[in-house]
Amino acid sequence: MSNNKPHTSIPGSYGGVVVSQVLEFVASREMDGDAIECRAFNDMSGSDVAKHKVFLDILCMLHTHHTY
């Protein structure tokens, strides 16, 4: 998965910068239960990688309608 949305930068604490980006994708019912993980890090500080993972809960039940 890749993303071509622009980054947004705002001033952060202690003279830093907070950078964010929106991820957009089209989900399908086959993705139900799949995980999406976001990772953030700062090369200059040497701090640990911050991670957040969510599992997709896509309830796309197939409905059929019968006419008699």
What pTM does this model have? 0.56
- Kindly list the domain boundaries of the chain, sorted by start residue: 8-55
pLDDT digits 0-9 by tens, 28-42: 888 999 998 988 877
CA pair distance 2, 9, nearest whole angstrom: 20
Who contacts 12 (Cβ-Cβ below 8 Å, separation ≥6)? 18
Q: Nearest CA to 55 among 38, 37, 40?
A: 37
pLDDT digits 0-9 by tens, 53-62: 999 988 766 6
